[in-house]
Copies of this chain bind each other. A is one copy, B any other.
């Protein structure tokens, strides 16, 4: 499949997920959001599960691309990570967080979703761990266990996602809470950089 076709199917999946949610997502909904027929989509993806696996992989790749990989300042890496998580350009004002929560709730039944969610989780933890470790080494942050700080931040992000979906809470509540925690734990908040 060429990149353009893949991109079109992924973009249509995104829109169809936001519109219908996971439970009511069909190949027909996805076709309706694209210029393709269901037969053409089925040619590339046998099942909804296969398509959603590719979709989750795409979300992870996109997330990685948004992060500044070679920023030398670990404070900038950590601040940029939080900005990427809390204001992903393409997902504000739509129902993607709801669809993603449905996929998380499906993970016990669909091993392939669980694998992708694990990948996402590991990437998030690795980014925070390395930024915190480098920041401590450079003397920007107070001493702490980088793995534990990363677990805090990533668990809070997970918690904020549930609260956004289940309670309709503003995700910025969670962002502020994480910043308060980083101030307490590292003696640093993202504002310090600005």
Copies of this chain in the oligomer: 2
Within 8 A of B (CB), among A98-156: 98, 101-102, 104-105, 107-109, 114, 117-118, 121, 148, 151-152, 154-156
Contact of A174 among B148, B155, B157, B163 (CB under 8 A): B155
Binds B, one of A63-71, A80-88, A165-173: A165-173
Classify chain A's interface size. Answer: 35 or more
**How far is B62's CA from A33's CA once the two chains are assembled, in angstroms?**
45
Binding-face segment, A9-17, A41-49, A176-184: A176-184
Chain B contacts of A155 at CB under 8 A? 156, 159-160, 163, 174, 177
Contact among B23, B102, B105, B177 for A152, CB-based, below 8 A:
B177
Q: Say yes or no: is A27 at the interface (Cβ < 8 Å to chain B).
A: no
Please measure, in the bound complex, the distance between the C-alpha atom of A3 and the C-alpha atom of B183, giving whole angstroms.
51
Interface string of A84-95 (1 = CB under 8 A from B): 000000000001
Q: Does A185 contact B (CB under 8 A)?
A: yes
* A residues neighboring B (CB under 8 Å): 21, 23, 95, 98, 101-102, 104-105, 107-109, 114, 117-118, 121, 148, 151-152, 154-163, 165-168, 173-174, 177, 180-181, 184-185
List 8 additional contacts besides A104-B105, A159-B162; criterion CB under 8 Å: A105-B105, A105-B166, A108-B166, A152-B177, A155-B156, A155-B159, A155-B160, A157-B159
